[in-house]
Structure 1
Amino acid sequence: MKPSALLLLLGLLSFRLMAQNPVGIFENHADIGKVLQPGTATFDKPTQTYQLSGSGENIWFKKDELHFLYRKTVGDFIATTQATLSGKGTDAHRKTGWMYRSSLDTSAAMVSLTVHADGLTAFQYRKKSGTNIEEIKTPIVHPDILQLERRGRSFFVSVAKIGNPFWTVEIPDFDLPQEMLLGLFVCAHNKNQIEEAKLTQTRIFTAVK
């Protein structure tokens, strides 16, 4: 192999290693939107806990600002986690949970199962890139378990407190790509603030090929 070709190969390998920043079962993490404060993501193996920090003004209308820990997922899945926001925070609408996006663009098509600091829990979604977010609120506040499932063109949202049955709803008619980015997120709902979230018992189940 010529020296120039070898240097090019080594450069490409170095770029790939730099581009990927795996944390636990996830492949990478990144800020989405024009956030003022960079976010972080870590995984504590003994306690099986993901800790996210991030800023961001909101996830609403046609613009999302958040920190996102994600991996590529193809086809149907079931994703579960237990999510809590750390400390008192500065805004009752700071939020965390599951997010499923077509890209890292601020107005990408996406769905999210979101729990807010005040306990409000909702399924928020943008069926097409560049459109406004829609929302379905659940009757369960401060749930212990968040479960998001894709089944073809439908999403199933299930939330529960430990010891009680799941509340579940189906939201149909999504025309989304088979390959998308699935992961955990945190949004401060305050562009000048950094908030933290802890997520445990996080699992992603996909079909065995």
Structure 2
Amino acid sequence: MPIVKRTRPTLTVIEGSPPDLAGLAGELEAGEAARRRAAVRALANHPDPRGLDLIWERLERETAPSVRALMFTSFAEHRSVSVADRLARLLDSSDAMLRSAASEALQAMPAEAEPVLDRLLATDDADLRIFAVRILAQTAHAGAPRRLVEVLRRDDHINVCAAAVDGLVEIGTREALPVLADAATRFRGNPFMAFAVETAIHRIEGR
């Protein structure tokens, strides 16, 4: 197999000035993934906030996993409610990899994601509510167990409630026990839910 000579990514920088945004935008369209990664790094660290916007604009057209991963790392490093909101919009994407990466990035910013997840939990779309529940269950936010209890108490969609029960298995406190007992009654005709609720109760009681 012939050796392919790698060309190092180059960015034109005027000494003492940040790289030109237009030039970096062009590098995001380069054929080599290494050049696109270099552009993402430069844009993520650019003093002009439009640098991050350029990464967002490229995201859904980016096909290289390594470049996409760096993009999501950049979003997580610039955590804010605005970033969390944009990540949440990707949960409705037809691209499973984008949905998964957005979910992981939201898990990494529990405080910033809190108002965004609250909004998702109130949406009519059950799939988005399930995403929000699963993200909550994986965050380190102190209020996550209480929110899962509230979801289980008020949501009437069995799959959303099942996701909440799964989350409570991992992070539930004794506060959840009365609501789990109520769920066992509500869903007593569903063997899967009956088993899931029983598992959650036993796990919490054993802590």
Q: TM-score, normalised by structure 1?
A: 0.27
Q: Select the structure that is richer in strand.
A: 1
Q: Select the structure that is richer in helix.
A: 2
